[in-house]
């Protein structure tokens, strides 16, 4: 069903069509919008059902069909940004002529606000689990071959497990395999850096997941837009504990894609030295890229610690957030425990930074 839309939105409702060759089926979606990129398209094929979602600003266009005939597992997606065309290419299992694509399922052809469309989950296989610190691990999940999904910078996914008969869902922010990846990141893999809380509800169960076992992963969600960072001169990142996770892809994106960028500074708050995530990698990156600098602040340091101590404060922030030029455009990103983020935003506002200068990562 198409929800109520205003006149402008109606003109923007996509249309679609399909055609076939002896061996393939192509479903084409004409989005009527430019700049369509691969990460705006999510496609799944599970149990004979094809579900496609194209994200067009605040709306999603949904295709949901029970296919009439069998297809092979690998599904390809092509986007032609300039004309706003998306093609989903399916390989026929049998070399026969299809009379129709299939039977429509719930929500087929709907164009609805992203916030109204609920989540779709697919089963992903745990490929590896490696220690990052004494209580934090890097989990590598593999998407099914028949899924096309890329998590944009600054967005998170939800993991779902059934614990004692109840579905439990928690958000996690994908990172890259490393800060300076030796190999291009494989798009079929999702890396998650997750802290295990011994008394937690979800993470101890996750910790027990064995290599080769499966977990449900949702579509991405989040309010961060790449355009917020595309023209900045100075980028300041304030992270506490696992609040570091959204900074990982953001750092790589900024250093590799933002031409105007002059400085990137990460202020990383942790309890002890042993809690610092990817410390060596951060120091190596700071050594390799002169634009990047990192500072560690510990709230419960050991006696030997000679670096900065304490929690987030106005004086730490005024010392840290300094423009590289008087008129430089800046962005300050913040993420961590809710009280950390709330206090940080308040201190920054008191220091005169506007809401456009600040982005906080929250669910």
Residues contributing to the site for ligand NAD (CB under 6 A): 156, 173, 195, 240-243, 245-246, 269-271, 275, 299, 311-312, 335-337, 339-340, 343, 361-363
Residue 330 near residue 232, CB atoms below 8 Å = yes
Q: What is the largest CA-CA distance in the chain?
A: 75
Closest to ligand NAD by CB, 25 vs 140, is 140
Binding partner selected for residue 202 from ligand FAD, ligand NAD, none, CB under the kind-specific 5 to 8 Å limit: ligand FAD
Alpha carbons within 13 A on the beta-carbon side of 174: 28
Residue carrying structure tokens 């096309």: 148
Q: In angstroms, what is the minimal distance from the CB of 333 to ligand FAD?
A: 13
Written in H, E and C, the secondary structure of 282-296 is: HHHHHHHCCCEEEEE
Query: How many whole angstroms from its chain centre is CA 164?
Result: 28
- DSSP-based three-state secondary structure for 118: coil
Distance CA 142, CA 189 (A): 5
109 touching ligand FAD, by CB under 6 A? no
Q: In angstroms, what is the minimal distance from the CB of 59 to ligand FAD?
A: 22
Q: In angstroms, what is the minimal distance from the CB of 283 to ligand NAD?
A: 19
Binding partner selected for residue 170 from ligand NAD, ligand FAD, none, CB under the kind-specific 5 to 8 Å limit: ligand FAD
Please name the helix (run of DSSP H) or strand (run of DSSP E) that holds residue 298, with its range, or none. Answer: strand 292-298
199 touching ligand FAD, by CB under 6 A? yes
Please name the helix (run of DSSP H) or strand (run of DSSP E) that holds residue 253, with its range, or none. Answer: helix 245-257
How many residues belong to the site for ligand FAD (CB under 6 A)?
18
- DSSP-based three-state secondary structure for 355: helix
Q: In angstroms, what is the minimal distance from the CB of 243 to ligand FAD?
A: 8
Residue 51 near residue 64, CB atoms below 8 Å = yes
Q: In angstroms, what is the minimal distance from the CB of 116 to ligand FAD?
A: 20
Residues forming a β-bridge with 349: none
Site for ligand FAD in 142-171 (CB under 6 A): 156, 170-171
Q: In angstroms, what is the minimal distance from the CB of 138 to ligand NAD?
A: 14
Residue 296 near residue 308, CB atoms below 8 Å = yes
245 touching ligand FAD, by CB under 6 A? yes
Q: Tell me 203's DSSP state.
A: H
Closest to ligand FAD by CB, 175 vs 285, is 175
201 touching ligand FAD, by CB under 6 A? yes
311 touching ligand FAD, by CB under 6 A? no
Residues at the site binding ligand FAD, with contacts judged by CB under 6 A: 156, 170-173, 192-195, 197, 199-203, 242, 245, 363
């Amino acid at each position: 069903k198409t929800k109520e839309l205003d006149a402008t939105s109606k003109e923007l409702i996509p249309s679609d069509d399909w055609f076939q060759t002896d061996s393939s089926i192509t479903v084409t979606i004409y989005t009527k919008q430019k700049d369509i990129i691969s990460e705006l398209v999510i496609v799944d094929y599970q149990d004979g059902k094809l579900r496609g979602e194209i994200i067009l600003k605040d709306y999603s266009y949904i295709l949901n069909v029970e296919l009439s005939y069998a297809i092979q597992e690998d599904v390809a997606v092509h986007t032609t940004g300039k004309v706003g065309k998306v093609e989903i290419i399916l390989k026929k299992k049998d070399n026969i002529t299809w009379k129709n694509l299939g039977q429509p399922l719930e929500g087929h052809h709907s164009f609805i606000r992203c916030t109204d469309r609920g989540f779709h989950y697919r089963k992903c296989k745990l490929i590896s689990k490696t220690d990052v610190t004494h209580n934090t691990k890097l989990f590598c999940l593999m998407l099914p071959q028949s899924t096309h999904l890329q998590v944009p910078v600054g967005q998170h996914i939800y993991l779902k497990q059934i614990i004692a008969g109840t579905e439990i869902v928690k958000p996690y922010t994908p990172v890259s395999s490393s800060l300076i990846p030796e190999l291009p990141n494989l798009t079929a893999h999702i890396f998650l850096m997750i802290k295990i809380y011994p008394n937690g509800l979800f993470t101890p169960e996750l910790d027990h997941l064995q290599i080769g076992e499966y977990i449900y992963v949702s579509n991405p969600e989040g309010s961060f837009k790449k355009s917020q960072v595309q023209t900045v001169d100075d980028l300041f990142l304030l992270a506490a504990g696992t609040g570091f996770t959204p900074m990982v892809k953001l750092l790589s994106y900024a250093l590799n894609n933002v031409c105007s960028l002059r400085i990137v500074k990460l202020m990383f708050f942790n309890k002890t030295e042993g809690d610092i995530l990817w410390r060596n990698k951060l120091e190596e990156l700071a050594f390799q890229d002169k634009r990047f600098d990192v500072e560690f602040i510990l709230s419960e340091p050991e006696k030997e610690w000679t670096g900065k101590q304490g929690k987030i404060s106005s004086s730490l922030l005024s010392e840290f957030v300094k423009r590289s030029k008087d008129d430089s455009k800046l962005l300050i990103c913040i993420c961590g425990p809710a009280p950390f983020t709330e206090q940080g935003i308040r201190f920054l506002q008191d220091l005169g930074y506007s809401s456009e200068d600040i982005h906080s990562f929250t669910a």
